[in-house]
Amino acid sequence: MTVAGWSEIVLYFALLTALTPPLGAYMARVYRNEPILLERVLGPLERGLYRVIGVDPRRGQDWKAYARSVLVFSVVFWGLLYLILRTQGIHPWNPANLKSGSWDVSFNTTSSFITNTNWQYYGGETTMSDFSQMAGLAVQNFVSAAAGMAVLAAFIRGIAARSGREIGSFYPDLVRTTVYILLPLSIVVALILVSQGVIQTLSGPRELAGLAGVNQTLALGPAASQIAIKQLGTNGGGFFNVNSAFPFENPTWLSNFVEMLCILLIPAALTATYGRMVGNRRQGWAVYVAMLVVVVIAVGITYAGEVHGSPAMHAAGIHGFNLEGKEQRFGIPSTALWATVSTAASNGSVNGAMESLNGLTGVVPLSMMGVGEVLFGGVGSGLYGMLLFVILAVFISGLMVGRTPEFFGKKIEAREVKLTVIATIGVPMLVLAATALGMTGWGRASISDSGPQGFSETLYAYTSQGNNNGSAFAGYTGVPFADVLGGLVMITGRFLPLLAVLAVAGSLAGKTAHPPGLGTLRTDSPTFVVVLVSVILIVALLTLVPALLLGPVVQGLSNQLH
């Protein structure tokens, strides 16, 4: 470990913390429909979109109407994206004359981008036309991220409401998120990336002669615009097959740092948005600190593990750094930081090979995803998942002291607890069931390694898809069985917690808040932060511990190189 490596990590978290309050305050103004400067420029676009989709932004919805809107919107856009992917041969902006992939890959890809997962069973530059990338995948990067943030805004309104049934309106939330948050930030980030050498062009591929005299095809395309929103929206799908390890996606140290910062920028800032919208900024900071502490510890473990190597490396006479699968321009510190923050968020991008991590350090990204990606999680989805754990921690704490659990003066009763358990336990159980199916004869065609590493490939694949992350152990291969199972897992992993969250929001919105009484647990205190982290680790992570022991832990303790 080096001073330069630790300096990069410290700088990263310092900037993230500094940017959280101002961006969070701005997003709170967006969701509370307060005046913002960008309305002078983008207001006509917002109002035009309302006219196109035919909604009244002043009309509210209860949780059932809000949920219906989310589902209808998602189904329609699933169909549109699938149509785009199945008709690629007739697209404009297809200079390489790429044809459509197989139906099962199209099904998996459509399900992936609709659910903000961006799992890829294909190589972007050899499979997708520029039109598919822009009109299909990039559009979904915007709207799937915006949908998650809209649901979070509705959930926070349900928590903060004093009485009533309305939690906002989905389409205005979606439009305002896209127009005033995601679009401006994406333009700024894309310009920064272009300045660093990330390509942005509609010209076709170039034929070049390599240094050895062998001809090769150099793929080009509108990469910078898609990379900006893939990172800001915690999507992660690479324009090119090797993602952000490729110089055309990530040319310099600065582009690498900016892309990493974008991964957690909005999820972190939404904690400040939450604090402002509920009228207690300390609440937002408590949640932020709980997230930050775990992620910082995880980064340290990954960095130390990759620097010191594994028993298998030592047995093979390799002592020192594990440089396998690392992009040498960035080294171990950036790879360790990226691998951890991208799996702490629901962002599948990589700047190194996840499968090349040592067995024990490979536990870290699996654990980050295994807790439900609530530390910090995806844009919107991470924080609403975290707030479910807050409710669960409040309930458990109330039982321990013999008091009726309350959250913001509202009693937490059986309905809220049942819905919270469904959302927090349902996805880990889904992951384990899919992993078991993936180890059957139907799924073994996808596994490239033997022994515990082969099990780790399968576990990682369905942990990633179930939690809507999108990163992968590179050896896991797409076949029709894996494509269909993975697509179904991604859809379930996205919409099961989402619907439970909206149901909880509706239940809380209809309750009358009472002033906190003597002995009520403060949810903005250091004590509660400790309780919250403990509940997350016990309830979510322990579900996957036996599977982790069978895969990456066994591999990490083995003397055999995978």
pLDDT, tens digit, 9 for 90 and up, residues 366-379: 888 888 778 888 89
State the DSSP string of 336-369.
HHHHHHHHHTT----SB-GGGS-TTTTHHHHHHH
Dmax (CA) of the chain:
80
Nearest to 509 by CA among 32, 150, 173, 163: 163
Nearest to 466 by CA among 560, 387, 540, 546: 540
Strand, helix or coil for residue 200? strand
When pLDDT is averaged across residues 542-558 and rounded to a whole number, the result is: 73
pLDDT of residue 444: 79
Q: From start to end of 416-519, where are the E strands?
A: none
Query: Is the pLDDT assigned to residue 133 strictly greater than 70?
Result: yes
Is residue 562 one of the residues assigned to a domain?
no
CA-to-CA separations, 514 to 30, 41, 193, 245, 391, in angstroms, rounded? 28, 42, 50, 53, 17
pLDDT of residue 324: 66
- Report residue 407's pLDDT band, with 50, 70 and 90 as the boundaries: confident
Report residue 500 CA to chain centroid gap: 19
Q: Which single residue is written with the structure tokens 């103004």? A: 29
Query: Is the pLDDT assigned to residue 328 strictly greater than 80?
Result: no
Which residues, at least 6 apart from 441, have a Cβ–Cβ distance to it below 8 Å? none
- Which is more confidently placed, 35 or 324? 35
φ, ψ for residue 402 (rounded to 5)? Answer: 75, 30
The domain of 61 spans 3-557
Is residue 229 one of the residues assigned to a domain?
yes
Nearest to 65 by CA among 181, 173, 145: 173
Using CA atoms, how far apart are residues 52 and 49, in angstroms rounded to an integer?
A: 5
CA dihedral 386, 391, 395, 400 (to 10 degrees): 50
Top-confidence range, 264-278, 477-491, 534-548 = 264-278
Using CA atoms, how far apart are residues 389 and 421, in angstroms rounded to an integer?
A: 9
Give 417: exposed, middle or buried? Use CB within 10 Å, 0-12, 13-18, 19+: middle
CB 237 within 8 A of CB 118: yes
Residue 169's region, left for phi above 0, alpha for psi from -120 to 50, else beta, is: beta
pLDDT of residue 101: 83
Using CA atoms, how far apart are residues 235 and 145, in angstroms rounded to an integer?
A: 8
CB 181 within 8 A of CB 42: no
Give the orientation angle of helix 526-535 with respect to helix 281-308, to 10 degrees.
50
End-to-end alpha carbon distance in the chain:
24
Q: Which single residue is written with the structure tokens 């047995």? A: 315
pLDDT of residue 450: 67
Is residue 292 one of the residues assigned to a domain?
yes
Using CA atoms, how far apart are residues 122 and 106, in angstroms rounded to an integer?
A: 10
Q: What is the mean pLDDT of the chain?
A: 86
CB 357 within 8 A of CB 522: no
For residue 408, is the peptide bond before it cis, meaning its omega torsion is within 30 degrees of 0? no
- Report residue 559's pLDDT band, with 50, 70 and 90 as the boundaries: very low
Lowest mean pLDDT segment, chosen from 42-46, 200-204, 432-436, 442-446: 442-446
Is residue 452 one of the residues assigned to a domain?
yes
Is residue 415 one of the residues assigned to a domain?
yes
Report residue 168 CA to chain centroid gap: 24
When pLDDT is averaged across residues 326-337 and rounded to a whole number, the result is: 82
CB 228 within 8 A of CB 262: yes
Using CA atoms, how far apart are residues 23 and 261, in angstroms rounded to an integer?
A: 13
Using CA atoms, how far apart are residues 504 and 416, in angstroms rounded to an integer?
A: 6
CB 549 within 8 A of CB 433: no
Give 484: exposed, middle or buried? Use CB within 10 Å, 0-12, 13-18, 19+: middle
Element housing 296 (H / E): helix 281-308
Lowest mean pLDDT segment, chosen from 21-25, 112-116, 235-239: 235-239
pLDDT in tens, 456-511: 888 888 888 998 888 877 677 778 888 999 999 999 999 999 999 999 999 998 88
Query: Is the pLDDT assigned to residue 353 strictly greater than 50?
Result: yes
State the DSSP string of 376-430.
TTSTTHHHHHHHHHHHHHHHHHHHHHTS--EETTEE--HHHHHHHHHHHHHHHHH
CB 340 within 8 A of CB 349: no
CB 313 within 8 A of CB 557: no
pLDDT of residue 443: 77
Nearest to 483 by CA among 44, 112, 26: 112
- Report residue 363's pLDDT band, with 50, 70 and 90 as the boundaries: confident
Nearest to 233 by CA among 353, 123, 378: 378
CA-to-CA separations, 24 to 20, 69, 261, 529, in angstroms, rounded? 6, 26, 15, 20
pLDDT in tens, 298-324: 998 888 877 776 555 555 555 556 666
- Indicate the number of domains in the chain: 1
CB 269 within 8 A of CB 24: yes
Rg (CA), the chain: 23
Using CA atoms, how far apart are residues 300 and 81, in angstroms rounded to an integer?
A: 40
